[in-house]
Amino acid sequence: MARKFLYIVAVLIVLVIAGAFAYAIWGAELLKLAMVPHSAFVAQPREPAAAYRRADMWLARPDKPGNPALWLPPGYTPEKDGKAAVFFIHPTSFLDRNRWNAPLDDAEANARAELFLRAQASAFNAVGQIWAPRYRQATFGAFLTSQDAAAKALDLAYGDVATAFDAFVAQAGNRPIILAGHSQGALHLLRLLREKVAGKPLAKRVVAAYVIGWPVSRSVDVPTLGLPECRTADKAGCILSWQSFAEPADPALIVDAYQASSGTDGKPRRDTPMVCTNPITGTPDATAPASANLGTLVPSADLASATIVTGQVPARCDSRGLLLIGAPPALGGYVLPGNNYHVYDYSLFWANVRADAARRLASFKP
């Protein structure tokens, strides 16, 4: 097991240690200066379809030794015969400001990505086998600028995800499918839903899509994705999304960026409502007490392991579509400015996500 287990992720160190203090004094421009590449974007050919037949192109795959997505905290065991096939897209783990996209063999980025799989994708290993591709992810700085290079970097990253997804569908057979991602991974998942699922026969095989840590507009995005928002706790074939903030919350950075952005259909999002699924109840716009939280993934003091702690974190969706979790829980020092618990979106409700996926799979009818 990796010594630096769940939360020693360099992007968080940059944001919190080098970023949060500096941000409070000098603002976002300092962060941009530190993280946005100054080099030109370098176009690269798309990975061929055959590439993702190889095990080395996957961080997690059912036949891959040392699969990090199979990690579990004490008291949990993975299901060897899970009925579903899970496609998981990891968040940004590449921080290099010298290039816009991560090389597939970047050891540090891949090691960080494996940490994310242990903390996030592991929630799904009770319901199915997990595939998580390596992809030429856009560097962190690409999210801090409107340069054309950033859009090109994200497009290159998505190309790998789309190619990997085609290989996943071919390898998964006729199993029901669960789609999940976080942050940059959730952004790519939105496009994947629009281009590979909406209006396709494959949509009938999707149990649920967990688009976590990225804003989703109910009126602009959801109609283009081929699946509705999950409205009940046992509904299958639907989309879940949330973004976690402790209180008092200052989501100005997220809200401002959301209102200035365009949705998957190219229309402006502006003040359209965001999807907010309460992960404790599995329903939208809901409120749940801490006592209903089945378990938060909490690291040990030396960060070498993690355990499940029940009944500590509540959740309620506010009028803006943000998920508020009450007073800041003590999960580590990687909370982003504004009491943004972005990195903990899965960990805060790890056991509830696990139960949610199992419940939706049980109700799934192809």
- Residue 6 and residue 21: Cα distance in Å, rounded? 23
pLDDT at residue 332, as a whole number: 78
What's the mean pLDDT in 312-324? 97
| Tokens representing residue 19 in the block | 């970023």
CA dihedral sign of residues 110, 112, 116, 122: positive
pLDDT at residue 341, as a whole number: 95
On the question of pLDDT at 135 being above 70, the answer is: yes
- Residue 333 and residue 342: Cα distance in Å, rounded? 12
| pLDDT tens sequence across 321-352 | 999 999 999 887 778 889 999 999 999 999 99
- Name the phi and psi angles at 8, rounded to 5: -85, 80
Buried (b) or exposed (e) across 88-118, using 16+ Cβ within 10 A? bbbbbbbbbeebbbbebebeebbbbbbbbbb
pLDDT at residue 316, as a whole number: 98
Q: What angle do CA 294, 249, 267 make, to 5 degrees?
A: 95
CA dihedral sign of residues 46, 52, 57, 58: positive
- Residue 75 and residue 69: Cα distance in Å, rounded? 16
**89-to-192, 202, 241, 243, 336 alpha-carbon distances in Å:** 11, 18, 15, 17, 22
On the question of pLDDT at 315 being above 70, the answer is: yes
- Residue 161 and residue 338: Cα distance in Å, rounded? 31
Identify the burial level of 364 via C-beta atoms within 10 angstroms of its C-beta, where 0-12 means exposed, 13-18 middle and 19 or more buried.
Answer: buried
pLDDT at residue 23, as a whole number: 44
DSSP designation for 101: B
What's the mean pLDDT in 95-104? 90
- Residue 186 and residue 208: Cα distance in Å, rounded? 13
Q: What are the DSSP calls for 245-308, one per residue?
A: E-SS---HHHHHHHHTSB-TTS-B-TTPPBP-EETTTTEET-EE-GGG---EEEE-TTSS-EEE
pLDDT at residue 17, as a whole number: 38
Average pLDDT value over all residues in the chain: 89
What's the mean pLDDT in 40-54? 92
| pLDDT tens sequence across 161-190 | 999 999 999 999 999 999 999 999 999 999
What's the mean pLDDT in 75-90? 89
Predicted confidence band of residue 26 (pLDDT cuts 50, 70, 90): very low
- Name the phi and psi angles at 65, rounded to 5: -65, 150
On the question of pLDDT at 13 being above 70, the answer is: no
Predicted confidence band of residue 31 (pLDDT cuts 50, 70, 90): low
| pLDDT tens sequence across 229-271 | 999 999 999 999 999 999 999 988 888 888 888 887 788 998 8
* Domain assignments of the chain as residue spans, ordered by start: 10-363
| pLDDT tens sequence across 194-235 | 999 999 999 999 999 999 999 999 999 999 999 999 999 999
* Identity at 176, one-letter amino acid code: P
**222-to-113, 124, 209 alpha-carbon distances in Å:** 28, 23, 12
What's the mean pLDDT in 293-317? 89
Predicted confidence band of residue 16 (pLDDT cuts 50, 70, 90): very low
On the question of pLDDT at 32 being above 90, the answer is: no
This prediction has a pTM of: 0.92
**221-to-226, 227, 307, 361 alpha-carbon distances in Å:** 10, 10, 36, 24
On the question of pLDDT at 19 being above 80, the answer is: no
Q: What angle do CA 354, 157, 28 make, to 5 degrees?
A: 85
